[in-house]
Structure 1
Amino acid sequence: MQSPLAERVRIQVEEEFFSVDKALLVENSEYFRALFQSGMKESTQQEIRIRDLSATGFCIMLKILEGGHPVLSCEENLQAVECAAFLQVQAMAKYLMNSINSDNCIILYQAAAVFGLLDLFHRAALYIRDSYAELEEYLDCLSPDLLDYMESLVPSTLVAVGAHTPTFEFLEDLSRTICYLEEESNTWRTLSCLPLTASTFLAGMATLDNKIYIVGGVYGYNKQVVGQSFCYDVMSNSWSEFPGPQQLRYDITLMAHENYLYAIGGEFEKTPLKSVEKYNLSTSSWSFTSDLPQAAAAAPCAQAMGRIFVCLWKPLDTTIIYEYEPQKDLWAPVSTLNRPQSYGHCMVAHRDNLYIMRNGPFDDFLRCVMDCFNLTTMQWTSLPGQYMNSKGALFTAVIKGDTVYTVNKMLTLMYTIGENTWKFKKEKAGFPRSGSLQTFLLRLPRTDHSIAT
């Protein structure tokens, strides 16, 4: 909400007029910042006319800057790209990047190329590359240059790692590996071996900028926490270490967002934790943020539309979704669902939907039921049918484009996300390791990883 004392300026775009907080424009738009600080007569005018810009695009910009989350049509996406480029509004460009999906990726790719939004251009190209098989019939509209650039990119690959504790060099466990699924040959192959002192057992793991981060694993009968954290850079095929959180913790959820890693909750000495820490990759330092609303270990988290959500489970089968707002450093309740279950939670995001998966009633706990929460309508929907969850398949779900990958030892199942359903797509080889596992997407360098697992 804007302060009633805030200085406002009247902006005319086409035939429409907008009364806008001047400070909001200066803070978010390079165009207006330069205009109002130029010393020219326009810098002191109370009414300014913007030419060669659509009123729709300007209206969308205001909604985004004021904290809204508009769902845009194809035409609105085009006008939003034009506005973001013309007024140099980084927050709007970032919003568009977080909104890329199979319906708008091609128009955003073309528009970003025309208006010079390079980050949006690259992100849309990556999305199209990942969904090439599903989008191929619609790519005839792209120019040869745009096709060439998109096809020059490396698609993302499904990567998995099992739960392993540290070992000694003379007892090296050859199964302590990170593996990837080569879909063409339907074979899991070794990408890298874990460092001897790294633990993935009850560790938090996340990917950021095509790197895997491991924080907070344990070793030994008493669950001693591994103090160091580890980073794997797939492009250089190298490992590095960085400090662990200030509060020793295990069974944490690790979330990567922009230039930060968030270590959320977890346990220490068998006591659940409420505290949350973030690691700044630029300064290589940890700092505490606002606590979770309740103590939680292995709390399900997901990012939808560039926003961070956590799913917490209270007694009496009450699930509450909270959103973490980094700018305000607070956890805001979003919605509550009452649903009987035996144990377990998993949450993944697709477009503006959060999918909450849980084991069914006690007499059928190997089957997984699913509910969908839509962030635009703020409504819950129960997905029809049940999904097999033997050995934890759905609890390792990752999404690429409109495709969900779920993995266990027996098989890898792929689903296509449709309206109110996950439709079976195809089956691939299971991950050849026992125990729990975590899965990710990485873009592997164009080299021959020839070691099959």
Structure 2
Amino acid sequence: MDAADKVMEPSSCSRPEVEAEKRDYGLTLPAQTANLRVTVEGNVFTVDRATLARGSEYFRALFRSGMRDCQQEEVDLKGLSARGFAIALRVMRGERPVLNDNEIEEAVECAAFLQVEPLVKHLLDAVNSDNCVLVYHTAAAYGLLELYHGVALFIRDMYHDLREDVKYLPEDLIEYVESLTPSTFVAVGTHTSCTESELCHAATRTICYLDEDEEDWKVLTHLPMEASTSMAGVTVLDNKLYVVGGVSGVHKQAVESCFCYDAVTDTWSKLASPQQLRYNFSLVGQGDHLYAIGGECERRVMSSVEMYCVSTGVWSFASHLPRPAAGAACAKAMSRIFVCLWKPMETTDIYEYVPGTDEWALVTTLIRHQSYGHCMAGHRDNLYVMRNGPSDDFLRCMMDCYSLTSGQWTAMPGHYTNSKGALFTAVVRGDSVFTVNRTMTLEYAIEDKKWKPKNQMRGFPRSGSMWTFLLRLPRAGKQPVAHDVLDTQKA
């Protein structure tokens, strides 16, 4: 085994959930301060009523019913497996257990019967190409619609790779998957806001998508005139593209205008600007919120974090970063938000934002030569950290993988051709990673934590840096990018 293939020692900062996941799935769950005994298949669980009320709609309704049953000290659940209930309890208590096929089926049954929303979310987070067909079929059998739809979307994104497995499903389940729209790789270059005197440049202010059938880029929509993608925050949440902040002019004047693009209706709308104007920050969407993390204002690096509630349209401050950071690498994995904060020159700390407690928790530390100037991507329960090659070689990219489950770092063997920043725009879809620059669009297949080149297509026909993301969008009526008129590869 090469040295690069060796697994590093587990991080001393691993989360307590990692140890919990190593416990047996038996029924020896630690007792909490509890006042309810739940009997399942002859096994008695002593559980805190508050835990059950927070996590299960079934128990929440029971406790609020006012009926005699809500005052009982013991409840006997019929038709459920004890192991499925034990898994539900673990998830309601904040653990993230890794489940085998039998446990998945029992967990889905329990989630459906007791209406355990945290367990549904955990099952969605745990869906991968190995278990998605099983989860999909089981969710359909138990009528767990949120899980059913979420897994169907996952399968649709990987339909080409999963076609052989999917064909054994009932016809109605196959038809539902095929009725859905797959995710599409989308990119936009960096543009500052456009004035009336600059209308001649408006034609170049396009957001483009990759037509994988024709292996070429096509125009999706044009940016609003006031929108800036230069040093802005750009992210996708619930199939809507958000462009927040940015700069305008050579003096990096902060832009107040913020916009949202609805991919389904092909329309733009404005949204409120953050309370603290910022640029060169990271924007991440999770749940019902956008998180504007760090950044700069008037050339001052900040540690402040703001969150935008989509349902209310209000910005509010969240807990500050542990230290100021601009342009920090961020990624989501298992519906968790992670950010890299580096200490020049060789240390990178990875923090997780915990919404429930509004705090930043140190997850692990990576010590590597030239570990700064990187980006991060999440796949399954792994975080991939990309950094510059040796001796400031920007044409090569070194990569390390951190497992959230085991708490271990693995140095990826060899190096990856970065080719002017392509890998620093990595976007994950299923078991594929899309990277792009002006020269080429490259799709990697993730196999055994290694990235293997899978498909090469035409590059994005714009110069400079870019934002990349995934959207589910109708393709009818979209036009190819005018390669011979705009900023083309022939220029």
TM-score calculated relative to the size of structure 2: 0.89
Q: Is the 8 A contact 1:29 1:89 kept in 2?
A: yes
Label 1:293 to 1:151 Cα distance change in 2 as closer, same or farther (>3 A): same
Cα-to-partner distance string for 1:233-272 (whole Å, 9 max, x where unaligned) = 1111111111211111000100001111100000011111
Residue number among 140, 165, 178 corresponding to 2:167 in the alignment: 140
Flag as ranges the 4+ runs of structure 1 deviating above 4 A: 1-5
Cα-to-partner distance string for 1:84-131 (whole Å, 9 max, x where unaligned) = 110011111111112211111111111111111111111111111110
1:128 equivalent in alignment to 2:155: yes
- Find the aligned partners of 2:38 and 2:390 in 1 and give their Cα distance: 58
Q: Which residue matches 2:194?
A: 167
Q: Which has the bigger relative contact order, CA under 8 A and spacing at least 6?
A: 2
- Find the aligned partners of 1:215 and 1:3 in 2 and give their Cα distance: 45
Residue 171 of structure 1, CA deviation: 2.2
Three-state SS of the structure 2 residue aligned to 1:107 is helix
Letter in structure 2 aligned against 1:43? C
Counting only pairs closer than 5 Å after superposition, residues 215-226 of structure 1 correspond to structure 2 as 215-226=244-255
Unpaired runs of 5+ residues, structure 2, are 1-15, 17-28, 483-491
Label 1:363 to 1:251 Cα distance change in 2 as closer, same or farther (>3 A): closer
Q: Which residue matches 1:418?
A: 447
Residue 4 of structure 1, CA deviation: 9.2
Q: Which residue matches 1:437?
A: 466
Q: Percent identity?
A: 55
Please identify, of 283-292 and 27-36, the stretch whose mean Cα deviation from structure 2 is larger: 27-36
Cα-to-partner distance string for 1:411-436 (whole Å, 9 max, x where unaligned) = 01111111131111111111011000
1:90 equivalent in alignment to 2:88: no
1:320 equivalent in alignment to 2:349: yes
Residue number among 234, 238, 246 corresponding to 2:267 in the alignment: 238
- Find the aligned partners of 1:5 and 1:175 in 2 and give their Cα distance: 61
Residue 192 of structure 1, CA deviation: 0.6
Q: Which residue matches 2:420?
A: 391
Q: Is the 8 A contact 1:207 1:256 kept in 2?
A: yes
- Find the aligned partners of 1:110 and 1:305 in 2 and give their Cα distance: 21
Three-state SS of the structure 2 residue aligned to 1:95 is helix
1:149 equivalent in alignment to 2:204: no
Label 1:356 to 1:38 Cα distance change in 2 as closer, same or farther (>3 A): same
1:357 equivalent in alignment to 2:386: yes
Q: Which residue matches 2:339?
A: 310
- Find the aligned partners of 2:259 and 2:160 in 1 and give their Cα distance: 35
Letter in structure 2 aligned against 1:235? V
Residue 8 of structure 1, CA deviation: 2.5
- Find the aligned partners of 1:316 and 1:426 in 2 and give their Cα distance: 35
Three-state SS of the structure 2 residue aligned to 1:221 is coil
Three-state SS of the structure 1 residue aligned to 2:384 is strand
Q: Which residue matches 1:409?
A: 438
Three-state SS of the structure 2 residue aligned to 1:146 is helix
TM-score calculated relative to the size of structure 1: 0.97
- Find the aligned partners of 2:412 and 2:468 in 1 and give their Cα distance: 23
Q: Is the 8 A contact 2:348 2:372 kept in 1?
A: no
1:57 equivalent in alignment to 2:67: no
Counting only pairs closer than 5 Å after superposition, residues 66-215 of structure 1 correspond to structure 2 as 66-172=93-199, 173=201, 174-215=203-244
Letter in structure 2 aligned against 1:33? R
Cα-to-partner distance string for 1:34-68 (whole Å, 9 max, x where unaligned) = 22333444322222221100111111111111111
- Find the aligned partners of 1:406 and 1:241 in 2 and give their Cα distance: 29
- Find the aligned partners of 2:346 and 2:477 in 1 and give their Cα distance: 48
Q: Is the 8 A contact 2:35 2:48 kept in 1?
A: yes
Three-state SS of the structure 2 residue aligned to 1:75 is helix
Q: Which residue matches 1:30?
A: 57
Q: Is the 8 A contact 2:64 2:70 kept in 1?
A: yes
- Find the aligned partners of 1:141 and 1:40 in 2 and give their Cα distance: 46
- Find the aligned partners of 1:400 and 1:13 in 2 and give their Cα distance: 39
- Find the aligned partners of 2:166 and 2:221 in 1 and give their Cα distance: 35
Residue number among 24, 30, 36 corresponding to 1:9 in the alignment: 36
Please identify, of 253-262 and 41-50, the stretch whose mean Cα deviation from structure 2 is larger: 41-50
Q: Is the 8 A contact 1:342 1:361 kept in 2?
A: no
- Find the aligned partners of 2:480 and 2:423 in 1 and give their Cα distance: 27
Q: Is the 8 A contact 2:33 2:47 kept in 1?
A: no
RMSD: 1.7
Q: Is the 8 A contact 1:342 1:365 kept in 2?
A: no
